[in-house]
Structure 1
């Protein structure tokens, strides 16, 4: 048997750079040997729990070495890793566990309150808290000490599933994007090529690893190259600036909000940023104000475009073209192709707006258990239909024009209005609802709900927010609720959200 996927990475890194620091976490260094040994221990523990090739292993937790150990340990067995967004509410966690048919869940203890009510309904066979746990529920750290570790390997091929990442669905339910070992390997290689990752790099990871960008274009290329990750549980601007200076950080990735909070911090001007060389930003375009603040410190960005379905990178704009091609999301990654099609699927000339279609080894094979969605997501010749509108300029640079799916991007998190609208429609007195994205200086966009209500009904922002509390992640809850006499509609009855955005978006 031989593992051709991510499950082979740790053994190879242990062989090539055993004493190199892989992670700096919570004040301690973790070498590649230690990280590989941890993955071996997890692999052995999962095997003892009956986990085999194809079984789904879910993980709900903040950034930690354990996240990566479980990812690589599961990959050794050919099991499929299912990272869960820590901001999800209990019903959303239940959907992920049920839809993925997760057999085992590892979670940080602080999420026990959300996990306990749902694991029975999800039919999860094994639930293990991280840390020490207690006599009734021994934790991962305690179990690993009692497990006879050894490198457990399975026959795994590049086109086998490696992970299922859930992306908010246009119809209300999150969809499981199946990413193969090939997808995650090639997105890492694309990052090595287009972002010049080298083994001496020190990457500060302040974004959650459960996001495709942090995993596929953050952690994996750095590990593949044998560089070092300074891994943080969460983002704090003051601490991030201090870590950049202390560890000589060379690489940083984030969303515009991340970079804005850093530049707005009182310590920004006094922090030594001389080692920073590679800044990558996704989620939405970098505002000119932020570009200016970083250029004053001699720094510029690689910006890009992508989505979970492309693992996630599709294009990147090199720093040298930040000003010359301002507003563009760049050129296709080295091993990725992008084209623009009209509504009939025909290719359009340069400069013409159409739907963005993507192909390459980083493009996922499809959604889990959704054959109709898969049929709609791919063209007859196998290109992924992004649902986004854009055009290529004369030099082949991609510009995003509009989003077919009305997706809202708030602080780098994707929000699909349909999910929120379905829940708001259940409120007594609501006769119509449209959720739109409204510009916000800090988060880029925030969701607003525009409602029509029955005469005399008492529906307020507080009513809507209270109804949604605990049902969806808080970042999805509308920040404002507007009552209107009627929603603008097309002749076929669809809400004209562009009209609402023009009216309320400022």
Structure 2
């Protein structure tokens, strides 16, 4: 990325505004001393805006100066308990100041922060702890009984914060560690032990600039982070907010009415969410019409596929504020779709941001022509360096495979689905996403998920699961009949089942395992493919 591009973007986003010299110097010192990771960004924000509100949550308000002071106290407690640079400490918690303070405390001493999914079962937690050498789990009180069923050392977050307020939290100022820690995000673990993907520590502002150039975030924005921070998208939102010296609004659980009230009460300009949250918020607003949150400028979503039926009605309600980032834990970001693109092409993934290279390759690693389906490969400044244990995603010519299939048409990218989700029925390739979009476009259908199951004649056949829209009376056979003529014959599901709700994991993704459990054992024989 060229220097003039960086300066131009930072200036447009209000990050080069003059301030008192000692504050500017303090910010530069924090970033050069602590780096551009979690601690450096938070300390830089505290140096430039010490009395600015960093976090608003159920416990009240916390300034940036208070945030760093509390994190330092907790760092001293962890050091006193024997945690050392290079140790892996996991955090199992919902969005709150305590989660953020614990992450900063671990990072400040040079430990690795392992973010655990709050939807993991005890067996998954135990397997992850053993596989990745987790020495301690700090957790919300609600997860204490779950961890009691494992052999993992655990410490309640409330107790940790209380210790920080006591004698153990006092002492000399915390100094930068000789070894910088990493944040490790675990994959969803839907097919076994979750894989640990260490996040690369940024070497400068390139990754920050690449995102805010496309998504118009501004210095000191007030930001509601509804996406879970243990997920890549929620963690990215937290880092971006620190870089912006933003005020971060957090809630432990997402509820549409509460999220809307937070947008209004705190005059939020920005919301970070996963697609199902955006859908729920739109449904709630449709049932509860009223004035719009006046300051809302950006609703940024990622983490799973944005249904093609959602962008236009959402923006008709909330204004042209929707931005959709396509990425992955391993690749960080690939493309970003902006409101005008989503209005014209609701199913698009957009285009790559600054300093991002994207290619669509076939099985022989040759680029496919425009309009043809290929696998996404990407290069940017935040591509991960490999899973813990040495495994890696496939790489080619400096690019990493995302595991997704897609097309490039008229300058825009489209995602058709996962490589391992493609269904081959009667020799024809069927992409579940296209069938799901066609189903959701039908009157009365709110959600849809499509699976491929073994079939002796066609190899695989399709089964669709749909959720009725509020107040709608939906019949599976009627939905199947209505779908005829909208999709190819070979893509027509053999059966459409109506369910009360789509089973989802903690990040809002439809659970393949839970859906397949609804099938009879004979149907599920030979494997199931579809959305994870």
Q: Shorter-chain TM-score: which interval?
A: 0.7 to 0.9
Correspondence list, 1:54-453, <5 A: 54-118=86-150, 120=151, 122=152, 124=153, 127-132=154-159, 139-146=160-167, 147-155=169-177, 162-169=182-189, 171-182=191-202, 187-216=207-236, 218-265=237-284, 268-282=288-302, 283-289=304-310, 291-310=312-331, 312-369=332-389, 371=390, 373-374=391-392, 377-395=393-411, 397-406=412-421, 438-440=465-467
Structure 1 residues 77 and 497: alpha-carbon distance in aligned structure 2, compared to 1, 3 A threshold: closer
The offset of 1:368, in angstroms, is 0.4
The answer on whether the counterparts of 1:87 and 1:474 sit within 8 Å (CA) in structure 2 is no
Could you report, residue by residue, the CA deviation over 1:164-216 in whole angstroms, capped at 9, with x for unpaired residues? 11103575221111112128975444332221211231111122111110111
* Distance across 1 between alignment mates of 2:186 and 2:378: 20
When the two chains are superposed, the root-mean-square deviation of aligned CA atoms in Å is 3.4
Note the 1:31-50 alignment, pairs <5 A: 31-50=63-82
Normalised by the size of structure 1, how large is the TM-score? 0.76
CA distance in 1, matches of 2:82, 2:375: 45
Comparing 198-207 and 5-14, the one that deviates more = 5-14
Report the Cα distance in structure 2 between the residues aligned to 1:355 and 1:441, rounded to whole angstroms. Answer: 33
Moved more, 23-32 or 55-64: 23-32
Once the two structures are TM-superposed, the CA of residue 30 in structure 1 deviates from its matched residue by: 0.8
CA distance, structure 1, for counterparts of residue 56 and residue 270 of structure 2: 14
Alpha-carbon separation, structure 2, partners of 1:149 and 1:268: 52
Q: Is the 8 A contact 1:77 1:154 kept in 2?
A: yes
Unaligned runs of 5+ in 1: 133-138, 422-432, 443-472, 489-493, 502-506
SS in 1 for 2:182: strand
Distance 1:46 1:52 in 2: 8
**Structure 1 residue 401: Cα displacement:** 1.7
- Who is 1:481 aligned against? 518
Structure 2 length normalisation: TM-score?
A: 0.73
CA pair 380-285 structure 1, distance change in 2 beyond 3 A: closer
> Which 5+ residue runs of structure 2 have no aligned equivalent?
1-31, 423-431, 437-448, 454-459, 470-508
Once the 2 structures are TM-superposed, how far is the Cα of residue 279 of structure 1 from its aligned partner? Answer: 1.0
CA, structure 1 residues 386+270, in 2 after alignment: closer, same or farther (shift >3 Å)?
same
Which residue number in structure 2 is paired with residue 491 of structure 1? none
Once residues 210 and 468 of structure 2 are traced to their aligned partners in structure 1, the CA distance between those partners, rounded to angstroms, is: 32
Q: Quick one: distance in 1 between partners of 2:400 and 2:379?
A: 6
Work out the number of aligned pairs and report it: 427
Select between 352-361 and 333-342 the one with higher mean Cα deviation: 333-342
Partner SS for 2:229: coil
Taking structure 1 as reference, are residues 497 and 192 closer, same or farther at Cα in structure 2, changes over 3 Å only?
Answer: closer
Change (3 A) 1:297 1:154: closer
Change in CA separation of 1:48 and 1:486 when aligned onto 2, cut-off 3 Å: closer
Report if the CA contact (8 A) 2:70-2:164 is conserved: no
Q: Is the 8 A contact 1:260 1:290 kept in 2?
A: no
User: How many Å apart are 1:65 and its aligned residue?
Assistant: 0.9
Counterpart-to-counterpart distance in 2, 1:167 and 1:70: 21
- Equivalent position SS for 1:477: helix
* 2: CA distance, partners of 1:265 / 1:354: 37
The separation in 2 between residues aligned to 1:338 and 1:161, in whole angstroms, is 29
Structure 1's 484 and 163: CA in aligned 2 closer, same or farther, altered over 3 A? Answer: closer
Alpha-carbon separation, structure 2, partners of 1:82 and 1:240: 27
Contact 1:2 1:154 in 2 (8 A): yes
1:321 shift after superposition: 1.4
The verdict on how the C-alpha distance between 1:149 and 1:28 changes in structure 2, with shifts beyond 3 A counting, is farther
Change (3 A) 1:74 1:344: same
Change over 3 Å in CA distance of 1:268–1:202 after alignment to 2: farther
CA separation of 1:7 and 1:435: change in aligned 2, threshold 3 A:
farther
Runs of 4 or more consecutive aligned structure 1 residues displaced over 6 Å after TM superposition: 407-410, 433-437
What is the distance in 2 between the residues matched to 1:324 and 1:45?
54
Provide the C-alpha distance between the structure 1 equivalents of 2:144 and 2:270, rounded to a whole number of angstroms: 34
